[in-house]
Structure 1
Amino acid sequence: MGTTTLKNIIDAISTIAGILFCGFALKGFLVPNQFFDGGVTGISLLLHELYHWNIGYVIVIVNIPFIIMGAFQVNKTFAIRTFLAVIGLALCLHFIPYPQITSDKLLVSIFGGVFMGLGVGLAIRGGCALDGIEVLALYTGKRISFTISEIILGINIIIFLIAAIKLGLPVALYSILTYYTASRTINFVIEGIEEYTGVTIISGQSEKIKEQLVMSLGRGITVYKGERGFMKENFEMSHPVDIVFTVVTRMELRRLKNLVEVIDPKAFIFTSLIKEAAGGILKRRARH
């Protein structure tokens, strides 16, 4: 079996699992309790509650414009996969008799969001999107001076305001909690425990630190030439220093800090979240 075929099979399994989890979140938690999510799913749920249209049909119809945008903003393969996934979700909602799990509002908010985020995240890892709000944000962001995050936030604010007016403030507030839980779960599913963190280390013992990072931790490093010192009491005095930068996973971060602390307890370390990393000696990650 070729590598491409294996990847396609893994993508298909991930997408199918995502569809099943989304269907479970919708019919087991959100729809029976009139709760909402953000994004395209939130729009679909809002239309379903206001006009009592079949949720499966609504999800397909609402997603069509975003699928068309995806063909131009991403590529045609992405659009085709997304269309098939949305159709699959509609069929799943229509034919699978998911039971209603609970009517407890807090449980619905949290676990409805968790399962929805799990489904959307798995679909993204499979190379498609069950919620096309980011495609809209990407399309809009090229025409106005707002970031993608700001556009998504603005769209969701409108959704939750309409929900508050039409269905009451408590429903809107619980739905915001659902959206937050779903978004955090999506991030975890996509990034996983191997979410990458950039680490910058400034120390007078940089030679030893570089050696330990490469030989003990097995990380690649980049070295910037800089100067340290410039204290208030002797501002004119400074010393050349190697500024060490490396990228580690979330699981490796504590080990790195412990390693540096043994060499130089006074070392200055700061970290930054890296959303995407590839190449170098990084571990190969699942495509999404």
Structure 2
Amino acid sequence: MENLVVERVTPVVKQTESIIKAEGVSLSFGKIKALEDVCIDVGQSEVVTIVGPSGAGKSTFLRCLNLLQKPDRGHITIDGRLIFNDSASVNKRDLLDVRRKLGMVFQRFHLFPHLTALENVTLAMLDAGIATRDEAVETATNLLDRVGLLKRALSPAPRLSGGEQQRVAIARALAMRPRALLFDEPTSALDPEASREVLSVMKELAQQGTTMVVVTHEMKFALNVSDRVLFMESGRAIETGTAEDMFYRAKSPRARAFFAQALDHMET
């Protein structure tokens, strides 16, 4: 089968510094094991995608990384700081710190409907006290320009298309100057055209060296943009490797079957 890597993102120089490190992350809901000993180590400027069938625990694991969902056990280190371990409770200061260091982009945008695009981006900076109003407006304007929405800066959020709202959400996450961005199925609620717009922004972020962890069903993005791919099923990390190794040379039978089907779908 011919490789489908036709628009491979030009890699930036990767750093060995670990930005996100999770070890043995486990979580149960009653008798249901949502996550079981999941590990990940994301270096500076790396793009790691998490893929797998629906119900694999991908989004749950992503939410655990920024403690939107507290694991039952495991260790999570962000930017060299241990922010969760199963032998100590998480304090509010740690929570605020990790939320600032890990920008989160959700499936459903979560913009404030009574605010404009510009106001949605400035609000977090003002609430966190990391910028004056003038500084926040300047930063938000630059970020909206970066995601191709400068002309829509004063548009109320409900008047923006789904793809535009998601790009505002990306600009809002970047406004907090995070060490990494977490994306939870950012195109799942979008039509194909809007998905392409959002993925294009994400590719540019990757080219610029943004550290990213992306839960996605966009297999072409995973293949062409990822430095590494983590395959999950039934709450477990089955296998991880470079994008090309996972798509073309996966070792576990389940991963091979999953990526073979993904490649067949991309060829049609």
Q: Does 1 or 2 have the higher relative contact order (CA < 8 Å, sep 6+)?
A: 2
TM beyond 0.5: no
TM-score between the two structures when normalised by the length of structure 1: 0.25
The answer to which structure has the higher helix fraction is 1
- Larger-gyration structure (1/2): 1
Q: Which of the pair is proportionally richer in strand?
A: 2
